Structures are given as structure tokens and as C-alpha cells.
Structure 1
Amino acid sequence: MKTYILGLSAYYHDSAAALVCDGEVVAAAQEERFTRKKHDPAFPAHAIKYCLKEAGINHNDISSVVFYDKPLLKFERLLETYLSYAPSGFRSFLTAMPIWLKDKLFLKKTLKRELSSVFSIGENEIPELLFNEHHQSHAASAFFPSPYEKAAVLCLDGVGEWATTSMWIGDGNELTPQWEIDFPHSLGLLYSAFTYYTGFRVNSGEYKLMGLAPYGEPKYVDLILDNLIDLKEDGTFKLNMKYFNYATGLTMTNKKFADLFGAPAREPEGELTQKEMDIARSIQWVTEEVVLRLGRSVHKETGLDYLCLAGGVALNCVSNGRLLREGPFKGIWIQPAAGDAGGAVGAALSAYHQYMDKPRTLQLPDATKGSYLGPKFSNEQITSYLDKIGADYTHVEDDQLMPKLAEVMQGEKVVGWFQGRMEFGPRSLGARSIIGDARSTKMQTVMNLKIKYRESFRPFAPVVKFDKVSEWFEHEGPSPYMLIVAPVKEDKRNLMSAEQDKLFGIDKLNIPRSQIPAVTHVDYSARVQTVHPETNPRFYHLLDAFEEKTGCPVLVNTSFNVRGEPIVNTPEDAYRCFMRTEMDYLVMENILIDKTTQPEWKEEGDWRNEFALD
């Protein structure tokens, strides 16, 4: 008899559900993809229904439901923090308590109520309900799907119950905690404080801060190290809480922080100046230094050659790239859904391997199936929807479709690419993607301003055939999850003139820096995704066709959505996004759609008001 375990993360941000069968992850999805609310924290009812449908089971087949953290421990941390900072945190206390007393403190009861509703059963019929510690869920999500029999595991995030940084040793089906750094000392919250101060949204704008960093100079590193963080040689650290407001207040930073940097926080959507770019570069430098020092210490302490990473800080692909190139490890594996959503996978795997003491079977290249764990749609389902709305389309088999798309993109057209199972995690990896020619000098601007409707400085990622990655980037081996930044090869770079070298900040943006300018950041770096025929044969086939036509095995790959919108899930989501933007073609499985032949698209009001800006 098969053992099914349902893992859940919910109520903070990025709610998700994951289903594990005998240690294998069979389905996982974020709730936002179904509700169309980005980072939706609500109970993941839609994601649960999807997981069960994908596996062809019902609630009777589930042996356990596992929540990804322990609310009582989190509540204890909240109370202790307010008491230790009293009376300064009283306003924040009054804001937080009603939510806790209504839902979060009595989470077991809340979960039973929600599960009984989703399963349409009585609360006494619900499967066994378990609770895992937050960082244990992160660690399990990183180690158990990894290709390593034994590895060190490093979890870095904002905060779980108490832990903000933790180190574990994974061995077979065991995960053993070694040490942790506790709240309020948090690398994730330090980075989020600077996200807030530079005018971006906490828990969603951190990647913008990372993307902004190469436009600046690390002018504020000493100021940060002298005042904000006491960083030890081994990578452990303490924050100076006099400058931060997150422990007790309603903001991340305070007046003392603003005075240190000579101005109040930038207003969201306000003008970006060189100062914000220099601040971004400085905190990115500090973050990388912490991660590198921690990595070296973990290696020295454990003697292990392999490292697994999870937690929100593990999405900082620049520090990941440096740790891989400059660190002591032979290999690093990062959970593709490294943030809270991935906690659902970790909770389920932790229950199976640790609580139930079930053995673990290694899978290569890893056990996440390329992170393609979400819903998929057949040609028949797609055409059924298109017929209903009167859309114009043609059915094209792969042997003709791939050369056609290669030709279209060679002409600098932008293509919406929708096929296979939707990705789990924050990155589009060639199932729900917008793609184009990486050699185009105008592609970054066109995609940012006319399709994504987002800030012009934000870089795009290259997607490359796995067997050609080392010809174009300073990187060896797989990078299937777009979580490693690597430099573009020197022989693919353009030499800068003396005048171009002197440019600062955003003025650097429009200088083509390589043979693939659409994916080359201003510091010659790129967030690389390698494509493998084992996990995404059709995407590999497309790259092959593009290389055959152009000699270049690299395309631009960005998420199929507009700013503030979750990545598209269904054919309806994809067609709507396609018609709202200046994409030229949409391909869904074998259905090809040309923008110029579509019926007029009408909507009431400005649809851009539908999504809150991230």
C-alpha cells in the first residue's frame, strides 16, 4: 500500500501544497497560481485539490498532513520579543495580536476546519495532522531531493519560529541539527531592511535589490559593517537592533537607520538615484561575504564536500554563484522553491523520512523532476478554450513548430511559451515562459517596458543548452533552476570604450556588453538556466532549432506574467496575458497563435489596476 503525505505551508506568504508518495514528490503548487493573488498567504485549498487530482487519489489515501512550522513556538517568540522591547512595541503588538488570537494561535483547529471543507468530510475524519519546525522543513526540502547521500545543509531566511540561520548534516534519511542563529539576528531580515529602505516591497522586492546592485559601487560597506552588523570571521553575526524596527514596529528600519544613510527611505515607485544603487551594491557585498564565510566554516567544521541550501536567502543567486566558484565545496544543490513555498515539500519529506523512518533513494540529477510539478493541459483542453472565445490558431507538430519559432525569434519577435507541467517555485523554467532572441540589443527594453511593464533596470536570464553552457558562461555543470549567477565568457564579451567605462548607474544599461546583450548584466554577469532533454525535451528541442538557425544556443527566458501578476497557470491565464501585452506569438503545447490574427481584445477599465505592484 502506498504512503501519501500532504505537506502544507500557509498564512505568512507563498502558501503552497505538496504531495509525496513513498518519498517521491508527485505534485506541488503555490496557491497564488490558482487565485491570481501574488504571494497569496491564504490556506492553499486550490493547490491541495490540484495535488490530489494529479495523483488520482482522495483524502482517504492520505496517511498524514504536515504543516511546515510550529505556531506555538512562533507565538512564544512574538511574546518574548514584545516583552523584551516593551513598551516600544505596543502598537505592533496591538496590530498582531487579533490575527494571532483569531487564527494562528489555534492553528490546529483552523487547519482541521479548512481541511474538512476541502475534503468535504467531518473534522474527526481528517488524516493525522503533524507540525514540523520551520527550518527543519527548509533543511528537508534542500537535502532529501538532492543528489547527495551525505551533505551539509545551510538554511538562511528571515525567521522561522526562532531560527534565522541553521546548519544541519544530512545523511541517508537522517537530518541532524548542528547549530543556529536566532531572531532578531537575521541575514534575511537585514537584506529585507535594505529592500524596504530603497523603496521596494519586502518579501517580493529583494530580487530587485540584487538586480540593482551591479549599477552601483560598494561605498557603504564599511558603514554597514561598523554600525549595523557585527560579522565574525566564521560568518556568524549579530545585528545592532538600535537601527531596526522589525522586532517591534510596523516598518523594517527606523529614524536612526535613515540618519545613518542621510535620508529617509525612498518612496515606492519614486526616482531611483545613484545612492540607491550604491546602497544595493553595498548590502549585496555584505550578504555575499556572510554566505562565503559561513560556507567555509561549514566545510571546515563538517569536512563534507557537498552543500545543500534553502530559505529565502538561497534565492540570492549572485551569492550562490560566488559560493560555488570561490567556496570549498565540490557541489552545491539549491531547492528551487527555496522560500516558504518549498517548506510544504520539506514538511512532507521530513515526515516520511524522519517521522516514519522510511529509507531514501537517491535520484539523479535530483528528485524534483526539474521542478515541473504543477498542472498541465492537453491540446484538446487548450483548443476547447480558444474555440469558446473565438481565437484564431493553428495546430503545428513539433518538427515544424520548433524551426518556425526559431525563425520568428530570429526576427526579434517575442513568444509566450506554455507547455508541460507548470513550475513550482518563483522561477519560470521553460513551462510558463516568455522567450526571445538573446542576441537582440532591444530585447531587454522591449520585454521590460512593453511586455512585463516593469522597471527598465531589471535583468533577464539566459536559458542555454546544458551541453553548451561552458562555451558561453564561466560555469561548469548543471544550473537547471536559474539559481546561479555566472560571468559571460570573455571571448563573448564586447570591449568597452574609455567613455563607456566611465559611465555610472543606469547610463550603463543601454551599452551592449556581449554577443548576447539581452541577458548580460552591466557587470557581465548572467543568471544562468541550463536546459536538459531528460527534464524538458521540448524546450531543449527549441533551443536546438534556434542554434541550428543562428549558431547561438541561448535564448532570453523570463516568467510568463506582467508585473504584480503570478506566473500564468491555465490556457486562459496565458491568452489573457498575451493579449494584454505586446507579445507577438503564443504557443501552447502544439497550438500556435499569431497576435495579428486575433479578434479585438476588450476589457472594462485599465487591467493594470488588477495587480498590486510588487
Structure 2
Amino acid sequence: MTLILGTSAFYHDSAVALVKDGEVVAAASEERFTRKKHDAAFPSLALEGCLNEIGASVSDIDYVGFYEKPLLKFERLLETYLAYAPRGYRSFSRAMPSWLQTKLHLPREIRKQLGGKTQRRIVFCEHHESHAASAYYPSPFERAAVLTIDGVGEWATTSWGVGEGARLRLKQEIRFPHSLGLLYSAFTYFCGFRVNSGEYKLMGLAPYGEPKFAEVIRDRLVCQHEDGSYSLNMDFFTFPHTLRMTGAALERLLGVQRREPEAPVRQVDMDIAASIQLVTEELVLGLARYVHEQTKLHSLCLAGGVALNCVANGRLLREGPFDRIWVQPAAGDAGGALGVAWLIWHELLRNERAVNPSDAQRGTLLGPAIDEEKEIQQLKSQGAVVRSFDDPANLDREVAELLATGNVVGWVQGKMEFGPRSLGARSILGDPRDSEMQTTMNLKIKYRESFRPFAPSVLREHASECFEMPEDVESPYMLFTFDVNPDRRKATAEASGIERVKQVRSDLPAITHLDYSARVQTVSQQRHPRFHGLLKAFHDRTGCPALINTSFNVRGEPIVRTAADAYRCFLATQMDALVVGNQLMLRSEQPTAAVESSQTYLSDLAPD
């Protein structure tokens, strides 16, 4: 047996992945354990949880991989500072302590964090190599083009290559400061959202606006060249040398001041969001067309933070040159832990690759499972009132009835998802037919902006009844948008701005976005039998094969991991019911003291 540990520690989203004999057996982000969003500490708790899940210990690890090369990244920081000096000294000086104390000594730090229990070789790969490997090796393709797009790794911001069998080779790259990920993050910052977490908000805001600024972005800010590459006009961006993404120059160009965080969203913010989203989609399509021209391949694998832009992915699937596309569900830096582990198995150890026709990601249900008996007993000891079901089918029917009558249900089952999407293991569920449900769940459950869209989970066998999806297309990881079928759409009354969120646009109004699209997860019996059972029960009860599925957390906290996390979040919000395994808890039956005490933890959360 060969056990390989991959990690993306000490950066934005620390994570670990364990690959045993070429198969991913566990993966998790540290934030789920520490409850600190985007925790950058060494993922010691995540590692412990993953090792316990597979019955192994640190001493069983044969190889350790790190998802990028710190010395190359440090070289970029130094060269960037020298290029802009004396500007940028403040950001440079703030970055140096962590580099001098930790990041330049990663072999020492990693061994220390592993308790000195392994002296095995520590393997470093380049950032975009790890992204590419995380996309290609688990994909269902024997041969494929690979495209990675993010903010920045060491120097690369975008790369493409080819995977064939067990070999993966990158061919070309675009280098910092020219970055599509940083361009999108710059506008995230300009519109008043937090970089590295607010990009989802910008994407969700885009359909409320008109792309009035698209032309000026194309003409003055970013140029796409004939070979699909692009370059930024750095006169309007400050991220190489300050702690801010943009400054006064961009405000003058756009004729509007940057929105302050937490200030009301303006119509101009919606128009700016629509504009950068459109340009981003065009740039992604241009890159994909060039890669297709160079490779002549029919399949494409995607990773990097920009690969989480499901609207761009949807356009690429519909309009792009590739017949098939597979996106790594943990496409951001956390997924790099998977990538480096697979690189060690295939490239360093020269093992062959067996292609799984579904994919080798195992539904991305890779995190530690709940210990239902133990965790429920702990909740009961704290006063929780629990109804137990011997037959899951009976529980599914009970929950389907709750959902059909307007209740919001927290749903915790088995292994935790790896990646930013909840896919039916740590989810909050609602009825998509309810026209008030989007606003209710945003404001009373998630405590977030009312415009934020919700995604549907739909029975795979009924997906084409609801959405414009070819019969042979799956979307198990909620990474593509598809349009609601025309026969399900409804004419909308006149409205403007955020008020448009209340428009009823289809017979599934809570998951139909302003442009009639939805970020769809297809759920099959094979991939996710437990969640499929609930969806089938809801379909039997209502005739509707879909549910709202959003991540089980509130604004400012990571997705829940344990039953205790879920119970606290359940009581602190306006959720009506919580299901953990085969146990049902109704809000109306919980002790008043528990409900009151749970409210305090919300005040401790930092806004995201």
C-alpha cells in the first residue's frame, strides 16, 4: 500500500487530501474543523480527521506533497516589489514575517506539524501543475485538454496543457500581473465585496444589471489577443504594490466611486457586475477556443478559482468548441492538495491511470463522516429533542411533507463534501415552487443579501423536464448553469433593481435567476443514493423533482461539519427542522433555553 498526503497549507484555504494506491480516499479543508472561514493554518485537524476516517496514522504516510513551490513564489514577491519600489513597501513588509518565519522553511514546518513521525521526501510541484492534475486525473477522459485559470500561483495565472493516459504536460502560461482571476477580484473589491470570498456575490449580482461598462473594460482594461491570451492595463490596478485591488484611476475611468463594504448596492454596481461577468465569459471562451485549436481534442478539464464561475462554465458548455467538460469540484487552492497527491502517484511513481467513466472524485464526498450514534447522543445529553426513524424511506416521506408545506430543513448525511458546494451531505433545503422562499432563506436563514441566488438539486432522470439539458449531460457538482425550460417560464411584472428578486419567472421561482438560468446539481441513485431518496420522496409528494439546495452555514462561517455544528446553526436561524442521519429534530420541540443560547454565536461571526 502507498499512502500519499497532499496539502495546500499556510495559504488562503488550507486543506489535505489522501490518495491510497492511486485512489482518493479522503480530503477536507481545515476551516470545517476550526470554524474559521478560509483558515490558512496547517490543516492538522483536517489531517487527523481524514486519517481517522481511513483507519491510518501519520506514520503510514509514504509521501508528502505540497501544492506549489514557495521559493518561486517568493521570487515573484521580491521582483514585484523591486519593480514598483518604493511603492508597495507596506504590503511587502506585512508579507515578509510569515515568509521568513514559515513559508521559506516549509519542509521543516511540515515535518514539525506531522509530529516528526515521517522523514519521507516532501515533494513540491508548481501551483498550476497541481490545479491541472486535480482536474485531469479524476476526470472521466482518457485524453483531454486542460485549462487552469486563477488569481496567481508562483508566476502563472493561466495555463493549458494536455493529459493523455497517466501523463500530463503543460504547454503555455500567462504570467502575473496579467490575471483573469485578479481582474475579477479587482471588480469584486470595487463593488464593495471581500476579495477571495465575494466573487460569488458579484456573479450573483450580474443579472440585475446591464453590461454598460463592457466596452470600456475591453478597450481600456484588458486586451485579448489572437492566440486567446490576454493582458491587463496595469495603469488601473494597484494589487501588485498595495493592499488594495484598485484606486482612484479606475474610479475616474468608470466615472463612479467604489462602493463601500456594507453600503447599499447601487444600480451602477449591478451594471459593473454585469459588465465584468460578460467580459470574463468572453475571455474564457477565447482561451478555450485557442486550446481547442492547438490540441484538436474533444474533452476539456478545468480548475483554478475562475473555474468556479458556473455562468462562464455554462456558456463554455453551450457555445464552446469542446464536446465534454469536467470541472474539479474543489477548483480553488484546496483542490491543489488533491492535484499534488495524484502527481506523485502518476508522475513521480510512474503508475498507470485507470479511467472511471463517471469520474474518480467519488461524488466529492471525501470528508469525514458524522458518527451518528455518538453525535446524536451528545445532542440529547444537552437537551435536544430527537425523533428516530428505523426506515430511511419513512423519514424521507416525513421530510418531503415538511418541505412541501413551506418548511426549511437542514440536512446532514454521511461524508462531508470537499469543495465549496453543498451537494446533499451538508445542505439547507427548501421548496423551489415557493415564490417567497429565496427571500426567506437569504434573510432569515443565511443572513445574507437578498439578491443571492439559490441552486436546485434535481433528480437526474427528470432534469431535462425542468432545464434545457441534453439527456446525456450530468452536472453532479453544481458547476454549470442551465436555462429553465421555456414551457416552465412565466412573464414578469415590471420592476427595477434588487426588487426584481421578487419577480416570479417560472413555476420554480425560488431557483430561477433573472436570466432564466439556474446552477443545477443533478442527483443520481448511483452517485448519491441517500439524497436521491429524499428527492424522489418529494417528487412523489408534489410532482416536483427538484429542491432548493444551499450550503449549511450562515454568512461568515464555514459549512457545518458535525451534528453539533448543525444543531447550533439550526437553532440560531429560522430553520424549521434538522435531519442528521436518520434523526429528525423539529424547531418547535427544542428547549427554549437551547434556542436562546444559540443566538450568541452569530454575533461572533465576521462578515464575509
Given the two structures, how large is their TM-score scaled by the length of structure 1?
Answer: 0.97
Tell me the CA shift for residue 403 of structure 1. 1.1
User: What is the match of residue 429 of structure 2?
Assistant: 435
The 1-side partners of 2:111 and 2:6 are apart by 14
- Distance, in Å, in 1 between the alignment partners of 2:325 and 2:599 is 48
Counterpart-to-counterpart distance in 1, 2:213 and 2:522: 35
2:522 aligns with: 530
Q: Quick one: which amino acid aligns to residue 211 of structure 2?
A: P
**What residue number does 1:417 align with?**
411
1:599 to 586, 591, 596: 591
3-state DSSP of counterpart to 2:147:
strand
**Contact 1:385-1:571 within 8 A present in 2 as well:** no
What is the letter of the counterpart of residue 468 of structure 1? H
Report the Cα offset of residue 446 of structure 1: 0.9
1:479 is aligned, of 458, 475, 478, to 475
| Number of the residue aligned with 1:550 | 542
CA distance in 2, matches of 1:444, 1:370: 26
Question: Which amino acid counterpart does residue 7 of structure 1 have in structure 2?
Answer: G
- The aligned residue for residue 43 of structure 1 is 42
**CA displacement at 1:347 relative to structure 2:** 0.8
Structure 2 match to 1:166: 159
Greater shift after overlay, 363-372 or 181-190? 363-372
Is the counterpart of residue 270 in structure 1 residue 269 in structure 2? no
AA matched with 2:22:
G
Q: Counterpart in 1 of 2:168?
A: 175
Is 1:492 equivalent to 2:488 in the alignment?
yes
Tell me what 1:589 maps to.
Answer: 581
Shift of 1:14: 1.0
Contact 2:143 2:163 in 1 (8 A): yes
Q: Hey, what's the Cα distance between the residues in 2 that align with 1:604 and 1:493?
A: 40
Question: Are the aligned partners of 1:66 and 1:348 in contact in 2 as well (CA < 8 Å)?
Answer: yes
Superposed displacement of residue 96, structure 1 = 1.6
Farther-moved stretch of structure 1 (52-61 vs 580-589): 52-61
Letter of the 1:522 counterpart:
L
Instruction: Choose which of 592, 604, 607 in structure 2 pairs with 1:610.
Output: 604
Which segments of 5 or more consecutive residues in structure 2 lack a partner in the other structure? none
- 2:327 is aligned to 334
SS at match of 2:317: helix
The alignment of Structure 1 onto Structure 2 pairs a total of residues equal to 603
Q: In the TM superposition, what whole-angstrom CA distance separates every residue of 1:295-354 from its partner, at most 9, and x where no partner exists?
A: 111111100000000000000000000000001111000000000000000010011101
Q: Which residue of structure 2 lines up, in the alignment, with residue 74 of structure 1?
A: 73
Residue 604 of structure 1 and its aligned partner are, at CA, apart by 8.2
**404-413 vs 261-270, greater mean Cα deviation:** 261-270
Counterpart of 2:141 in structure 1 is 148
CA distance in 2, matches of 1:496, 1:510: 10
Structure 1's unaligned 5+ residue stretches are: none
Counterparts in 2 of 1:372 and 1:383: CA distance versus 1, 3 Å: same
Equivalents in 2 of 1:33, 1:59: separation in Å? 20
In structure 2, the CA distance between the partners of 1:540 and 1:605, relative to structure 1 (3 Å rule), is: closer
- Give the superposition deviation at 1:385: 1.4
Cα offset for 1:127? 2.4
Shift of 1:69: 0.4
- Which residues in structure 2 correspond to 1:381-392 (within 5 Å)? 381-392=374-385
Match of 2:235 among 239, 242, 252: 242
Distance in 1, Cα, partners of 2:207 & 2:252 = 25
Aligned match of 1:279 in 272, 291, 306?
A: 272
SS of residue in 1 equivalent to 2:129: helix
Counterpart-to-counterpart distance in 2, 1:287 and 1:83: 30
- The residue that corresponds to 2:554 in the other structure is 562
- After superposing the two structures, state which structure 1 stretch, 434-443 or 593-602, moved more: 593-602
TM-fit CA distance, 1:91: 2.1
Question: Is contact 2:424–2:531 with CA below 8 Å preserved after alignment?
Answer: yes
Match of 1:449 among 431, 443, 447: 443
What's the TM-score once normalised by structure 2's chain length?
Answer: 0.98
Task: Specify whether residues 382 and 91 from structure 1 end up closer, same or farther in structure 2 by C-alpha distance, changes over 3 A only.
Answer: closer
**Distance change in 2, residues 1:608/1:387 (3 Å):** closer
Indicate the larger mover: 97-106 or 247-256: 97-106
Cα deviation 1:211-252 (Å, max 9, x = unaligned): 000000000011111111111243211101111111111100
Cα distance change of structure 1 residues 402 and 249 upon mapping to structure 2, 3 Å threshold: same
**Displacement of 1:523:** 1.0
- Amino acid corresponding to residue 77 of structure 1 in structure 2: R
CA contact (8 A) 1:151 1:305 kept: yes
Contact 1:59–1:127 (CA under 8 A) maintained in structure 2: no
Alpha-carbon separation, structure 2, partners of 1:605 and 1:376: 27
Comparing 549-558 and 57-66, the one that deviates more: 57-66
How far is the alpha carbon of 1:60 from its aligned partner? Answer: 2.4
Q: CA separation in 2, counterparts of 1:343 and 1:517?
A: 36
| Matching of residues 300-315 of structure 1 within 5 Å | 300-315=293-308
